[in-house]
Amino acid sequence: MLRQFKYRLYPTPAQETLLNKSLEECRFVYNQLLEQRKKSYEEQGETLRLYDQTAAIVPMKENRPSLKSVNAQVLQNVAVRLDLAMQAFFRRIKAGEKPGYPRFKSYGRYDSFTYPQAPSGCKIQGDFVQLSKIGQVKIKLHRPIKGTPKTCTILRSAGKWFATFVCGFTEEEARELLLPESTEEVGIDVGLKDFAFLSTGEAIENPKFYRHDEKDLKRVQRRVSRESKGSLKRRKAIKALQKVHSRISNRRRDFAHQQSRKIINRFGFIAVEDLHVNRMVHNHCLAKSIMDVAWSMFFSNLAYKAEEAGRKMVRVNPAYTSQDCHKCGHRQKMPLSERIYACPCCGLSCHRDHNASLNILRLGLQSVGIQSREAAGFIRAE
């Protein structure tokens, strides 16, 4: 089992210069390797292998001595990244999609590099992290690192620096992460009006982080558009724009982590919708709201937290969960404007999202061979 630990770095001005230089050298290698792949396919009809490109990095150092200032394994990882990008490109082609060809990275567009065999080249020493070719950089360990570090990625984001450690756990260490057993079950129906509605009758409010900061975002974007390209004022405006975007994404990520943790700590069985969010955003009227609510991030957090805590999480087909009565199975059309589900057959009356969450729980239990039980607490129409 693998788990990520992300920490803030506080490099000195000299160290920040070295970090930026390392990113630019990695960007150069990435573009050179991509050019080699492109030429090989156009001229010879052959696709270069990962090991061929890894070996091609050594001759590059003779023509560009500045590459020697970057850890060798970091440069080799650049070839691995490009190989993964090409694999994803061809996989999408085989699936019938229309993917874009991997792009050359322009200045400032390469924001991370990885030490693939931590602690080799990257090791925590007290309140500092020793980075090969960089030096001892101050790190804020806001929580203790657990497991055995496998890789370390240095990331530049909106003018800030972070270190992300991917740690592996032995079976014994993984057992320590298990939570006490819980017999509670829940079905979760996600939406735009409410972020989520639980089968217990509880609703999680949609925070709408993007909508709340949209005015600030537009104001800063206008500043960027007014400045001429390449100017110092434009670079400053872009950095301010990055900070606003970073603030929105950080709040959204924190919200998804907090809500998923609460659910995992409480429930032993969790049923959620198997949504295809990429298809849903094709609806331009709802695309911005769907991207803002970040269902995929929430489901992803639930999945890995459930795995490490020993919980059971299943995904079910959401078709007709809002239209079917969870009591008698009667199906009726439910426009989005109708917020109360009133069944004409059994007389059931409840919130439409509550009814959908109960259907999701029923389908989830059936998928694992458990007979669903009738939930209490509904108001029947007289």
Q: What is the DSSP string of 124-159?
A: EETTEEEETTTEEEEEE-SS---SEEEEEEEEEETT
Q: Cβ of 44: how many Cβ atoms within 10 Å? A: 9
Q: Name 27's Cβ contacts closer than 8 Å, sequence gap at least 6.
A: 105, 107, 109, 110
Residue 133 backbone phi and psi in degrees, to 5? 75, 0
172 is catalytic: no
CA 338/CA 25 separation, integer angstroms: 57
**Looking at residue 371, what is its pLDDT?**
64
Instruction: Tell me the longest C-alpha to C-alpha distance in the chain.
Output: 85
- Asked if 216 is an active-site residue, the reply is no
**Residue 264 β-bridge partners:** none
Tell me, what's the pLDDT at 161? 95
* Cα separation, 292 vs 251, whole angstroms: 11
- Single out the catalytic residue among 25, 189, 292, 324: 189
Which of 273, 308, 324, 382 is an active site residue? Answer: 273
Give the number of residues written for the chain: 382
Q: What's the pLDDT score for residue 357?
A: 92
d(CA 258, CA 206): 13
Which entry of 25, 185, 292, 353 is annotated as an active-site residue? 353
SS3 percent helix, strand, coil of the chain, rounded to 5, is: 45, 20, 35
**Quick check: is 292 catalytic?**
no
* pLDDT given at position 19: 96
Tokens of 323: 């239209």
Task: Output the CA angle 140-145-148, nearest 5 degrees.
Answer: 135
Per-residue pLDDT of the chain (382 residues; tens, 9 = 90+): 888 899 999 999 999 999 999 999 999 999 999 999 999 888 888 888 999 899 999 999 999 999 999 999 999 999 999 999 999 999 999 988 888 889 999 988 899 999 999 888 899 999 999 999 999 999 999 999 888 999 999 999 888 999 999 999 888 888 888 899 989 999 999 988 899 999 999 999 999 999 999 999 999 999 999 999 889 999 899 989 999 999 999 999 999 999 999 999 999 999 999 988 877 877 777 888 888 898 999 999 999 999 989 999 999 998 888 888 888 888 888 888 888 888 888 888 888 899 999 999 999 998 888 765 544 333 434 3
Distance CA 349, CA 360 (A): 17
* AA letter at 157: S
pLDDT at 139: 95
State the pLDDT at residue 372.
Answer: 55
